[in-house]
Structure 1
């Protein structure tokens, strides 16, 4: 794919982030799952999930290196490129000083977007608002140098469960800074404990971010369903490692039934 065509695909992907028409992203974890998604007519785009990619590679999310992540997502991007669908890659925190290279490598593969977190694994804590916003700008600049200036950045903030004080006010401050720095959407994550966000909190985030909010979709009782999220005016929903965990649960059941 030439860079002009790739940037056109990035523009199309950016346009899919519309609060009036919820973008649903199922997250692939290997080439097979990406093929299933890319050939599904209902799937507009494909996302990876670093947690799931790490487990497929036999490691843990917190230990996943840039090189391992790139190796793991290569068949995911290839599946999307083959079907002409946008692919966005979970780049965790951007791997410190390796962020420009991470962007360059996924663009070389054919990706048109990425997910970047504001929790630094090197520091063991959140980047400052200023540092995190600067890293989003850096990612956009790196993409522009590669010929894809409309590369889509989904900026994840972990402030909701990392900050002891501030709560939603801190999340909003960070989210606005990230959007101003060039992010297309802000992903507000409730943390590994699943703190989640209430409907009232989502309404506030939608208002503050003009709808450019990414939420995690959790199947099951007690969580908002697709239609409910759509009604709140959210631009984008993703499932993270959910599809991988569901597949592994089914696989375990199959093993039990055989053995």
Structure 2
């Protein structure tokens, strides 16, 4: 199997309580740490990469993001999926080509812009074009931003997820979904479901898996924890 097939297979037949855990490297060094620790695959966080490059979240130019992903992919042997936000305004074919050039096996794609949800039908059509351009060469994780945009009704997330799965998404990610609604989402969504861990005191990956998550990612959380640890070291050095 090639790396994309390996990555896709990692999402299949996950038992409850055993989700696929995908740490989020923000540079080549952190990617090597996670790969050496034994994780079978990685998923880059756009916000973590932004911080490492000196940008605010959402402000990284496309060329710099793709270059950063390329360095991460090159640093490890395990499959790497890339968060490429809303696609940087690229046409689906160009977006797919740029992703494949990095060596990434998959991508996260958001369904909101500047805190406003996109029309789900039009976004589904765009995702279908991405799928058509990618074929089976990329694993598409379609982010559902309803909770992040203040829409608390799980039904709205399920409706969007259904459109995106029908458009060819391999997985859906209802980002910021409260852990207690994960069973409802799991019951209503066909295929793998991504859940996020954003705080150190939040539910463990195993707990999220027991609630219905197929896979667990961390956004920029691990990069921020590493930055705090480095700050503590720096503070001790200047005393």
Q: Same fold (TM over 0.5)?
A: yes
Aligned residue number for residue 227 of structure 1: 206
Match of 2:32 among 32, 35, 48: 35
Match of 2:50 among 47, 50, 54: 54
CA RMSD of aligned residues (A): 1.8
How far, CA to CA, are the matches of 2:41 and 2:200 in structure 1? 23
Match of 1:120 among 109, 113, 119: 113
Match of 2:130 among 127, 133, 139: 139
How far, CA to CA, are the matches of 1:40 and 1:64 in structure 2? 29
Decide whether the 8 Å contact of 2:46 with 2:58 is kept in 1.
no
Structure 1: unaligned runs, 5 residues or longer: 191-195
Decide whether the 8 Å contact of 1:172 with 1:208 is kept in 2.
yes
Decide whether the 8 Å contact of 2:67 with 2:102 is kept in 1.
no
Q: TM-score scaled to structure 2, two decimals?
A: 0.91
Match of 1:11 among 5, 8, 22: 5
Q: Please say if 1:207 is aligned against 2:187.
A: yes
Match of 1:106 among 94, 99, 102: 99
Cα pair distance change 1:211/1:134, threshold 3 Å:
closer
Aligned residue number for residue 193 of structure 1: none
The alpha carbon displacement at 1:171 in A equals 0.7
Aligned residue number for residue 236 of structure 2: 257
How far, CA to CA, are the matches of 1:52 and 1:220 in structure 2? 16
Decide whether the 8 Å contact of 2:73 with 2:102 is kept in 1.
yes
Structure 2: unaligned runs, 5 residues or longer: none
Q: Please say if 1:86 is aligned against 2:73.
A: no
Aligned residue number for residue 215 of structure 2: 236
- SS at 1:34 equivalent: helix
Cα pair distance change 1:226/1:97, threshold 3 Å:
closer
Decide whether the 8 Å contact of 2:22 with 2:43 is kept in 1.
yes
Aligned residue number for residue 96 of structure 1: 89
Q: Please say if 1:180 is aligned against 2:173.
A: no
Moved over 4 A (4+): none
Decide whether the 8 Å contact of 2:111 with 2:144 is kept in 1.
yes
